């Protein structure tokens, strides 16, 4: 479902790019989106998605039902979150220019005015998505993942439909209208399922509710850490707003393409493994936590490696193939592709940061994660400040890439130290096997590409790119299938059992 949702997001960008290009209108949309995304990163990415899961495990003592006093505690947190979100929505509706000038101070008057109009349309998204995130967190706690993971797909399909339907009438505002409608549909889709799964809620606001203190101590550092993770995007938008018109759009397109695998693969791994991590911690199963953490990292790396190779080795071909249509020109392709290589580095660093921070959150060690993310943000600001005046938009992308890589490496050290193993070097050598499929894919893709060029075969550049990458992916899959990686071996055994059952029937 995450794959469907992110593919919908890519398709959404592929529709916006040809319709509106990479000019002032898209700059204004990016600026307007930054304001609600700021709160949504704080609420949905922090307090709810990452923070509620260890809180649920604490309040249920590792089970799947909350104690009555636990229901009251989590209800108090939920009610105050919704109230804060509603207040923020009201502020954005009444004072849109003030918020736009804070998050993207470099916009000229025309782009700022258009962004303010779009922000007024978009602001209800914050309340709607917060409600949907609460429902999704409860369903994940109950072991239900597919429907909550469909939220992005619901929103993106709605945005695409309304953009195509209303673009001629409303222009870029059609995207904003589609986002609000999609957020409302998220609530409509999730609410019945949450009710059927026994969702527990009380209309309580008491600051003296039992267990409220421990729950807040679990959630608070996670909220701040997740906010700082979004701070990377906020830094990009602030520096990018001072660049020439269109550069902010190029940064946005490159970021969305480059980090899409992180939103698909890494998020999928996190959604499934965070409840597992939290349950293992609640049961003091340190060996199980170490094994599950290793499994999650393997699955994440195996999922993002093909994208790292394609984006890193063929950035121009990637952008040209997926985006160079309509109002998105060759110049836009060149500018966006030059940034994609940096975002490939950000894909690696960001994936490690997102995933490994969840291990610390489950251990209720949000403070070390908080300081690590803050350090990465400091690195990003320093590098961006140093380079943006010299190399423009590439300096902004480089700051994001190196800042996320720094925080990812530090988190890796922290998690390894929190999950010690007597066979650490042997395990590290064994895990290095997962590099073999990636190396095979790169070599096979380059060989096919060079062969097509050497023999002057009648294949278009787009066809040659697709053929070489497709062959490389095939090699990746074949090598991966033959490796004795536990997850692959498990999949192979499952398929063999399925085939035997079909033959028997």
Whether the CA torsion 80, 195, 272, 269 is positive or negative: it is negative
| Pairwise CA distance, residues 327 & 19, whole Å | 6
Domain final position from 382, 397, 420: 420
Looking at the domain assignment, is residue 238 inside a domain?
A: yes
Domain-embedded: residue 290: yes
The residue with greater pLDDT, 449 or 7, is 449
| Same domain, yes or no: 453 and 399 | no
Q: How confident is the model at residue 438 (pLDDT cuts 50, 70, 90)?
A: confident
Q: How high is the pLDDT of residue 422? A: 46
Q: Tell me how far apart the alpha carbons of residues 199 and 153 are, in angstroms, rounded to a whole number.
A: 23
Structure tokens at 190: 């999730």
- Of all residues in the chain, the percent with pLDDT exceeding 70 is 88
Q: Pick the last residue of a domain from 371, 387, 420.
A: 420
In a domain, 425, yes or no: no
Q: Which residues contact 492 (CB under 8 A, 6 or more apart)?
A: 481
Show which of 374, 393, 420 is a domain's final residue: 420
Q: Which candidate, 405, 353, 402, 407, places its Cα nearest to that of 382?
A: 402
Q: Assess whether 356 and 499 both reside in one domain.
A: no
72 and 9 in a common domain: yes
Same domain, 383 and 485: no
Give residue 452's domain range.
434-505
Question: What are 337-373's pLDDT values in tens digits?
Answer: 999 999 999 999 999 998 998 888 888 787 888 889 8
232 and 364 co-located in one domain: yes
Assess whether 225 and 352 both reside in one domain. yes
Indicate whether 75 and 224 sit together in one domain.
Answer: yes
pLDDT value for 41: 66
Question: How does pLDDT run across 94-112, given as a tens digit for each residue?
Answer: 999 998 988 888 888 888 8
Domain co-membership, 372 together with 462 = no
For residue 14, which of 299, 303, 322, 251 has the smallest C-alpha distance? 322
Q: Total domain count for the chain?
A: 2
Query: pLDDT at position 83, please?
Result: 86
Using CA atoms of 161, 162, 164, 169 in order, give the dihedral in degrees to the nearest 10.
Answer: 170
pLDDT in tens, 134-161: 888 777 777 777 777 788 788 888 988 9
384 and 500 belong to one structural domain: no
* DSSP conformation letters of 148-179: HHTHHHHHHHHHHHHHHHHHHHHTTHHHHHHH
Spatial distance between the Cα atoms of 219 and 52, rounded to a whole number of angstroms: 7
Give the integer Cα–Cα distance in Å for 364 and 456: 59
Rounded Cα distance, 503 and 505, in Å: 5
**Is residue 294 over pLDDT 50?**
yes
Q: Are 145 and 272 in contact (CB under 8 A)?
A: yes
Q: Which residues in 340-365 are b (16+ Cβ under 10 Å) and which e?
A: bbbbbbbbbbbbbbbbbbbbbbbbbb
Residue 137 domain-assigned (yes or no) = yes
Q: Check whether 62 has a pLDDT greater than 60.
A: no
pLDDT of residue 97: 92
Question: Which band of pLDDT confidence, cut at 50, 70 and 90, is reported for residue 120?
Answer: very high
The answer to whether position 429 is within a domain reads: no
**Mean residue pLDDT across the chain:** 82
Q: Return the minimum-mean-pLDDT range out of 17-26, 136-145, 435-444.
A: 136-145
12 and 158, same domain (yes or no): yes
Alpha-carbon dihedral of residues 423, 428, 430, 434, nearest 10 degrees?
A: 160
Percentage above 90 pLDDT, the chain: 20
| pLDDT: which is higher, 432 or 314 | 314
**Contact (Cβ atoms closer than 8 angstroms) between residue 235 and residue 395:** no
One domain, residues 133 and 236 = yes
- Predicted local confidence at residue 105, as pLDDT: 87
Same domain, 34 and 63: yes
Q: Closest Cα to residue 235, out of 460, 33, 396?
A: 396
């Amino acid at each position: 479902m995450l794959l469907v949702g992110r593919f919908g997001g890519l398709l959404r960008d592929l529709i916006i790019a040809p319709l509106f290009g990479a000019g002032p209108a898209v700059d204004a949309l990016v600026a307007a989106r930054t304001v609600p995304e700021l709160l949504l990163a704080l609420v949905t990415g922090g307090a709810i998605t990452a923070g509620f899961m260890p809180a649920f495990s604490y309040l249920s003592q590792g089970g799947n039902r909350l104690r009555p006093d636990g229901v009251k505690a989590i209800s108090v947190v939920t009610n105050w979150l919704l109230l804060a979100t509603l207040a923020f929505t009201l502020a954005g509706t009444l004072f849109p220019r003030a918020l736009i000038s804070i998050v993207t101070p470099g916009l000229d008057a025309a782009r700022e005015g258009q962004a303010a109009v779009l922000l007024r349309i978009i602001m209800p998204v914050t309340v709607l998505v917060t409600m949907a995130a609460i429902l999704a967190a409860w369903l994940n706690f109950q072991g239900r993942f597919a429907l909550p993971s469909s939220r992005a797909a619901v929103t993106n399909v709605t945005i695409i439909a309304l953009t195509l339907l209303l673009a001629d009438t409303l222009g870029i505002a059609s995207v904003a209208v589609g986002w609000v409608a999609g957020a409302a549909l998220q609530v409509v889709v999730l609410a019945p399922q949450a009710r059927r799964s026994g969702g527990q809620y009380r209309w309580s606001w008491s600051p003296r509710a039992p267990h409220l203190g421990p729950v807040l101590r679990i959630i608070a550092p996670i909220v701040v850490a997740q906010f700082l993770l979004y701070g990377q995007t906020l830094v990009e938008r602030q520096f990018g707003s001072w660049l020439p018109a269109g550069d902010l759009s190029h940064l946005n397109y490159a970021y969305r393409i480059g980090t899409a695998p992180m939103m698909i693969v890494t998020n999928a791994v996190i959604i499934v493994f965070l409840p597992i991590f939290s349950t293992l911690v609640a049961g003091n199963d340190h060996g199980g936590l170490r094994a599950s953490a290793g499994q999650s990292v393997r699955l994440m790396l195996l999922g993002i490696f093909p994208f790292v190779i394609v984006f890193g080795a063929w950035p121009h071909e990637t952008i040209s193939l997926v985006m160079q249509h309509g109002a998105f020109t060759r110049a836009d392709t060149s500018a966006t592709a030059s940034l994609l290589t940096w975002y490939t580095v950000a894909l690696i660093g960001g994936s490690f940061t997102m995933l490994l921070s969840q291990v610390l959150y489950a251990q209720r060690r949000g403070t070390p994660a908080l300081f690590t993310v803050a350090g990465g943000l400091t690195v990003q600001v320093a590098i961006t400040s140093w380079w943006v005046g010299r190399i423009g938009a590439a300096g902004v992308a480089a700051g994001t890439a190196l800042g996320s890589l720094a925080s990812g490496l530090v988190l890796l050290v922290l998690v390894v130290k929190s999950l010690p193993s007597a066979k650490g070097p042997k395990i590290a050598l064994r895990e290095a096997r997962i590099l073999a499929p990636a190396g095979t894919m790169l070599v096979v893709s380059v060989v096919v590409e060079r062969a097509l060029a050497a023999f002057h075969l009648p294949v278009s550049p787009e066809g040659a790119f697709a053929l070489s990458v497709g062959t490389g992916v095939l090699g990746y899959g074949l090598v991966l299938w033959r490796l004795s990686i536990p997850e692959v071996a498990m999949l192979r055994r499952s398929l063999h059992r399925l085939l035997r059952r079909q033959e028997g029937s």
